Amino acid sequence: MVSLQQRVYTWLPSLSREQREVFLSVAFLLFWICFGTFSYVLIEEWPLLDGLYMSFITLTTIGFSETHALSDSGRIFTIFFAFIGIGIAAFGAARVAQILILATSIRKRRLARMIRRMRDHYIICGYGRIGRRVVRDLQAAGKRLVVLERNPDIIQELHEEGIPYKEGDATHENTLLAAGITHAKGLITLLPEDAVNVFVTLLGRDLNAGLFILARTAHDSNRRRLIQAGATQVVAPTSIGAIRMAQVILRPRVDEFLTHVLKADDSGLIMDEVLVEPGSFLAGQTLASSRFRQHFETIVLTVVDGKTGDMRFNPGPHETISTGDILIVLGSRAMVSALATKGCAPIAAHEGPPPITDASST
């Protein structure tokens, strides 16, 4: 059987120098308390519990009165006992603090290094209610992302959830550069003030001319200004919410269907975009000649022309599909995934959204 000493010697090398010092300090303090306990028993002829109590209050510097009056020998021993024990305790506490500070520093450096190595990722400015939903959906789609936030409480939340983040103000150029905006695929600015979103959009467009920028606006009247600032698309959550509420009243069954589609699980229906890639079985074919519906049990709702961006709703069976076209399809998750094996990969599998040919119309 391996002895305890051998196990300790085998385990200690796996620790850092600071961790070994903390471990040895704790072990020494336990030994020192035992040493002090039995020393008081021998020197002062106290009961064992009194010796343990005296050793404890001496090392912890609690400052309670002595259990019994000490002899001269007991006082000399107490000075020696406290000098050695408190010194070792202070040394161990300093090492614990050093480990905590070092761990925080290492974590920050590791996070910064990971962000520097990111390519084709998305930068989300703001982690409020909308930001949380955007981050959750992007992560579910397997997208790389970095959240910019300056609220300490939210930063702690991001750390606990393991979401890559950069602490700082999104309106500062250095913060965007530290988030890797020059190598990013998209910038999503969800800050509550339109003026700030305009400035972040201007800054993002200046730092990366090819960036896909999705901006939030609180007022539809500011949509044009965000487009002029360089936003690729602009979304007004309040307007979308109002439209959705009206649809619930006017077309409840349609709203229920869309809710089912947008929140479908693996066994339900989903609506997705697929790109017709070179060599696809659909390239140069019609929906009828390719027997698309029969093979995949999926409905093509819209065809987006790959060259002009024009949308052809409810395409006919004899309409030719070309390479580069985007199909908006409705079907099961398994069937949509199966399209990828035939040269029709979901847009989410690509590194970013397709270019918008007429951003002002959004």
Q: Is 148 helix (H, G, I), strand (E, B) or coil?
A: strand
Counting beta carbons within 10 angstroms of the beta carbon of residue 179, is it exposed (0 to 12), middle (13 to 18) or buried (19 or more)? buried
**CA–CA dist 19, 88 (Å, integer):** 15
Residue carrying structure tokens 């020192």: 32
pTM for the full predicted model: 0.62
The answer to whether the beta carbons of residues 272 and 336 sit under 8 Å apart is yes
Residue 361's pLDDT is what?
37
The answer to whether the beta carbons of residues 180 and 121 sit under 8 Å apart is yes
Residue 200's pLDDT is what?
95
Torsion sign (Cα): 29, 33, 36, 42: negative
C-alpha distances (whole Å) from 268 to each of 99, 133, 334, 345 are 50, 21, 10, 19
> What token pair was written down for 183?
């190598």
Residue 183's pLDDT is what?
92
Which residues on adjacent β-strands are paired with residue 146?
123
Q: Which amino acid is at 297?
A: E
The torsion region of residue 25 among left (phi > 0), alpha (psi -120 to 50) and beta comes to alpha
What phi, psi does 24 have (nearest 5°)?
-70, -35
Q: Is 301 helix (H, G, I), strand (E, B) or coil?
A: strand
Burial 249-269 (b: 16+ CB within 10 A, else e): eeeeeebeeeeeeeeeeeeeb
Burial 125-137 (b: 16+ CB within 10 A, else e): bbbeebbbebbee
The torsion region of residue 126 among left (phi > 0), alpha (psi -120 to 50) and beta comes to left
> What token pair was written down for 356?
């918008």
Which residues on adjacent β-strands are paired with residue 213?
187
In the sheet with 299-304, reading across from the earlier edge strand, the strands are 311-313, 299-304, 326-332, 269-276, 344-346
SS (H, E, C) 19-73: HHHHHHHHHHHHHHHHHHHHHHHHHHCCCHHHHHHHHHHHHCCCCCCCCCCCCHH
Torsion sign (Cα): 235, 239, 244, 247: negative
What DSSP character marks residue 324?
T
> What token pair was written down for 9?
């010697």
Residue 228's pLDDT is what?
92
Residue carrying structure tokens 């467009």: 205
Q: Give the mean pLDDT per block of 10 residues along the chain (362 residues).
A: 49 64 85 90 88 87 79 87 88 80 74 87 92 90 90 89 90 92 93 93 94 91 90 87 80 77 62 83 83 80 85 85 86 77 61 44 36
> What token pair was written down for 40?
């008081």
Residue 359's pLDDT is what?
39
